[in-house]
Each structure stands twice: as structure tokens, then as C-alpha cells.
């Protein structure tokens, strides 16, 4: 089954896999910023993007799962929802006050140069996801054996940004809802 269809199945029939609440790191960071233009990469069913839109952000969410996109569209939150792979989306240059990648992993590494270019000066990047050590827990599911960031991988990819927060911790994960090795990064474009 293709990746998008596997995620469709998650959003249609496996809601127990994720918390419906928005990601706490994103809430903390965006909640302290004046609302501006935000891009969520791999927004899923929109739990984070909807929260941002409801707080006055002008939000675009990109997502490859049709079922995820449909749920985000029916939220009524006034998001701009794009059914596309992030790799095909024109992120642009100096367009975004906030870019978020929450539990999306590989794409945030592959697309780092375009993500940096897309941030406005003063704009922030917020990433949370599994650390690669999560593979030791045997929970690789939908990412073809490539789940999680290796130690310091995000720091190496985003050298042009000023890192405001970086941590590799064991904490409750939004996805799978288990204690797991996580990576969190908040970085700002100067
Ligand atoms: C674990 S879910 C996280 C969803 C959401 N960010 C959240 O925190 O609830 C990962 C999502 O990334 C999407 N995804 C994976 N690769 C993608 C890509 N290249 N472009 C856009 N979305 C992608 C998947 O379809 C899936 O919905």
C-alpha cells in the first residue's frame, strides 16, 4: 500500500494512534508569537493547523493523505489545505513567520534548504518527532523503516538558523501515545 493510502487508513479508522490535541511545543512557541503566516508540513488531519487558525494565524497545511485533508477541510477553521507532497509545494522565499513539522521526519531533513529559504527573517521553525532510537522499541510503522531523527541530524541540517531550543528526551509522544525517545527543535531565522 502506498504511503498516502496507509495514512488515509489511519485518519479513517485509527484515531487512537494520535492525540487530538495540538502539539504542546507548537502551542508554547506559536502562542508566544503574534499571529502571522504559518505553514504546516504533513499536517495530517489538522490538529495543529486548526489550532493555529483558530488563534488568528493565516495557515497553510500540506498533506499527502486525502482522508487527512478532508478532515482538516471540514474543521471549519479557515485553513488553506493543500493535497500534495511537501516536495512538490512551492514554499517560496521569505513567506512564512512559522513553519512546523510535527512527527513528519524525513521530509524535514530532505527539504531543509527550501524551508530555511521560506522563512521570513524573525520567522521560526518548530519540529517535534521521534528520535531514531525509537526503532529499538519496534514501533516503525508507516515510514518504511526510516522512522526518527538521528542524534543532532536536525542541528546539522539547519545550520543557518539560530537554535533557540534543542532536546533529545524521553517523553510522551503525541503519536502512538507512548513514552518514547523524541527530538524537539525551535529555531529562528535571523
Ligand atoms: C505522524 S503524521 C503527523 C501528522 C500531524 N503533523 C500531526 O502531528 O498530527 C505524519 C503525516 O505526514 C504526512 N506526510 C508524510 N510525508 C509527507 C510529504 N512528503 N509531504 C506531505 N505530507 C507528508 C503523512 O501523510 C502523515 O499525515
Least confident of 32-36, 75-79, 141-145, 178-182: 141-145
Structural domain of 32: 3-188
Q: For residue 40, what are the β-bridge partners?
A: 61, 100
Least confident of 1-5, 79-83, 99-103: 1-5
Question: Using 50, 70 and 90 to split pLDDT, how confident is the model at 144?
Answer: low
Nearest one of 91, 36, 33 to 62, comparing CA atoms = 91
Total domains in the chain come to 1
User: Does ligand 1 come within 6 angstroms of the Cβ of 184?
Assistant: no
Which of 18, 38, 44 best tests ligand 1's pocket when mutated (most atoms within 8 Å of CB)? 44
Output the pTM of the full model. 0.96
Residues 39/57, Cβ–Cβ less than 8 Å: no
Residue 162 to residues 105, 177, 178, Cα–Cα distance (Å): 20, 30, 30
150 backbone φψ class: left, alpha, beta (φ>0; ψ -120 to 50): beta
Using the mean position of ligand 1's atoms as its centre, give its distance from the Cα of residue 159 in Å: 24
CA separation for the pair 146, 171 (Å, rounded): 20
Write the CATH number for 129.
3.40.50.150
CA separation for the pair 86, 21 (Å, rounded): 23
Number of alpha carbons in the 13 Å side-chain half-sphere of residue 179: 1
Which pLDDT score, from 0 to 100, does residue 141 have? 62
Amino acid at each position: 500500500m502506498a504511503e498516502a493510502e496507509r495514512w488515509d487508513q489511519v485518519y479513517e479508522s485509527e484515531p487512537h494512534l494520535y492525540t487530538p490535541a495540538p502539539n504542546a511545543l507548537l502551542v508554547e512557541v506559536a502562542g508566544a508569537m503574534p499571529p502571522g503566516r504559518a505553514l504546516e508540513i504533513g499536517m495530517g488531519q489538522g490538529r495543529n493547523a486548526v489550532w493555529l487558525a483558530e488563534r488568528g494565524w493565516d495557515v497553510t497545511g500540506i498533506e499527502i493523505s486525502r482522508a487527512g485533508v478532508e478532515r482538516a477541510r471540514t474543521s471549519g477553521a479557515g485553513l488553506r489545505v493543500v493535497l500534495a507532497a511537501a516536495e512538490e509545494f512551492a514554499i517560496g522565499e521569505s513567506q512564512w513567520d512559522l513553519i512546523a513539522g510535527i512527527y513528519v521526519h524525513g521530509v524535514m531533513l530532505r527539504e531543509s534548504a527550501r524551508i530555511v529559504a521560506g522563512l521570513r527573517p524573525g520567522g521560526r521553525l518548530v519540529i517535534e518527532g521521534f528520535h531514531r532510537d525509537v526503532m529499538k522499541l519496534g514501533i516503525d510503522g508507516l515510514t518504511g523503516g526510516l522512522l526518527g531523527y538521528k542524534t543532532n541530524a536536525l542541528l546539522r541540517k539547519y545550520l543557518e538558523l539560530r537554535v533557540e531550543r534543542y532536546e533529545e528526551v524521553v517523553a510522551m509522544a503525541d503519536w502512538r501515545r507512548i513514552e518514547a525517545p523524541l527530538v524537539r527543535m525551535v529555531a529562528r531565522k535571523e
